[in-house]
Chain A
Amino acid sequence: MTNAIFTGLMLGGMYALIAMGLTLQYGVARIMNLSYGEFLVAAAFASYWLFTGWALNPLLALAFVIPAGFGGSLILYRILLTPLVRRARTRDTLEVDSILATFGMMFIVQGIMLSMFGGAYFSYSFLAIPVSLFGEILALNRLIAFGLAVAVGLALYLALTHTRLGTSIRAVAVDPMAAQLVAIDVVRTSAFAFALGGALVAAAGVLISMFLTFSASSGVIFTMKALIVVVMGGVGNLLGCLVAGLALGLSESLVATFVDPGLTLAVNFALFLGVLLVKPAGLFGRAQR
């Protein structure tokens, strides 16, 4: 039982970490990024390549991969997504357009990775040392990833609530029109939030690659989990992200331990639908007028 809870918490922390970037991209920049998981896997491959080719510690690789994720996402937003933002008349049309555009991007990134690495599964062994904690045996790399995820989440939360830029990001998330009235450059703030989300997903990809097997086509699953967590927690809400991620992780590991490992996805969806039918805006979301 304790083992199941521990595994669930770890898994949930990972889901929360994965979803944080998406909640920024969707909540602030209004881009429903369906290629999100592909970028996560791309970061995992970058970490794999740096580790096997250059013997670079994945924790140091973060220093390269995170800026790359930030820059890459910024360029992507500027070149591909800004035309859609300009073209969209309402928020709904932007949502549909961004879904379709990022859908195409998903295939492109996946296609590039398939041609570079093939369809095989990859993993590398880094700090796979058993550690005993509260009488349970856990792998050190998972613990480190969990700790870093918590640190990143905390740093992001503080940055959003205690800095000027963070406050303007939250203002755009609440109401882009009103944000303009208090002299916030909505276009630049959105681009920044999207790029920040890209940096977060890059970090998540590196951390996950330390203990999880991945392949060029496994991005879809990550996208799906991140979407479920973001919508369940309430779009643009970091605390909601954390709670929803933990709930998802815990329910998954409990079902896998006590019922059947083959039914985890069914539980995900049951939880997702259950929450949305009771609270359509998500656990911590405000109802839209």
Chain B
Amino acid sequence: MNRMRLAAALAGCAGLAVLALLPMYADAYYLALAIGLLQFTVLATAWGLFSGPTRYVSLATTAFFGVGAYTVAVLGELLPWPLVLLIATAIGALMAVIVGLSTLRLSGLHFVIFTFGLAELIRQLVIWYEVNKTRVLGRYVFVDITQKDIYWQLLVLAVAVFVIGWLIARSRLGFALRIIGEDETVAKHCGINVTIAKVTLFAISAVFMTLVGAIMAPRWTYIEPSIAFNATISFEVVIMALLGGAHRLWGPALGAIPLTLLFEFLAARFPTASTLIMGVIFLLIVYALPAGVVGLWDNFRRQWRPQRVEQGAGA
């Protein structure tokens, strides 16, 4: 088993090296596609970090994404890039703590409703601020960042989200969250501070979403509230995570990759029918694959395991 793990780790490192070298060989189209894939992988995995164990369906992805993008739009030219990212992290975490403290004590349903409107709310506040205070709607992002830089940053972020997700699952926090997901009352009786655990995880997940928004912002060069706070991103992320299966760390990524490719294809071929097709896919997943691809894989393994044991006993 140890040798298997070593091999897996080596394969992971090799894969990562190939991914890191990709921009050297790929042309602009494939680089853009790879950026899209990484973007949704990070977003869906970050979504699953919080919504997987706690089973709160969050529709706030685009709110954090947009806040990250706007941070870059406002500060990108004034401060050095790492500092901008750091500030985006802080803003995302602060916002998540405020939203989390005020809504995560409510039932899961109220949380869905609130996050459903959060992006719209923040968009309205940004528009109000821009119209009344700065008197311009829309900003230009002129920072010295190429597509390759965006790709590498997203790759680092993707590695970070998996490492942190893995660490959380092995920490006290992860254990507490699994209990909360199973039964919140039991968790409270075990002496777990339910609110702090949920808010912490929500903030971690939100920081990743904010950073993706910040990293992606230079791609647009022009940003206005309706671009940065595009509600479709929230919906797509939920579909992806559900297809993959949100209760495993690597589940959402399994959904993000095929669906990003599919949406890309649909946007190119059937731009008018993409909403309709997205809805049909969503329904198919909910009815046919309630536990996602990961659920299928678990079922498959469960059926396969006992046979192997029998063979072992015979030999």
Contacts and interface: CB of A to CB of B under 8 A. Distances in A.
B279 interface: yes
Given A115-B272, A266-B125, A280-B106, A224 B117 contact: yes
Contact of A260 (B105, B132, B231, B277): B132
A93 to B, nearest CB: 9
A101 B283 contact: yes
Contacts of B128: 260, 262-263
Tell which of B242, B276, B277 has the most Cβ of chain A within 10 Å.
B276
Nearest to B130: A262
Nearest to B242: A100
Given A262-B124, A263-B124, A276-B110, A110 B275 contact: yes
A227 interface: yes
Contacts of B132: 260, 262
Contacts of B124: 262-266
Interface in B256-315: 272-283, 285-287, 290
Interface residues of A, number: 44
B-side interface mostly: helix
Contact of A112 (B55, B112, B276): B276
A262 B279 contact: no
Interface string A257-288: 00010111110110011001100100000000
B242 A111 contact: no
B280 A108 contact: yes
B9 to A, nearest CB: 36
Q: How large is the interface on B (under 10, 10 to 19, 20 to 34, 35 or more residues)?
A: 35 or more
Contact of A265 (B109, B120, B276, B283): B120
B131 interface: yes
Interface string A110-132: 11101100000000000000000
Contacts of A96: 55, 57, 108
A264 B272 CA distance: 32
Given A224-B116, A269-B121, A104 B282 contact: yes
Contacts of A111: 273-279
B284 to A, nearest CB: 8
Contacts of B279: 104-111
Contact of B102 (A83, A114, A265, A277): A277
Nearest to A274: B102
A103 B232 CA distance: 12
A269 B273 contact: no
Contacts of B277: 111
A140 interface: no
A228 B57 CA distance: 17
Interface in A66-110: 80, 83, 87, 92, 95-97, 99-101, 103-110
Nearest to A106: B279
9 contacts: A95-B109, A101-B283, A107-B279, A108-B276, A221-B120, A262-B128, A265-B124, A269-B121, A273-B114
Interface of B: 55, 57, 102-103, 105-110, 112-114, 116-117, 120-121, 124-125, 127-128, 131-132, 231, 235, 238, 242, 272-283, 285-287, 290
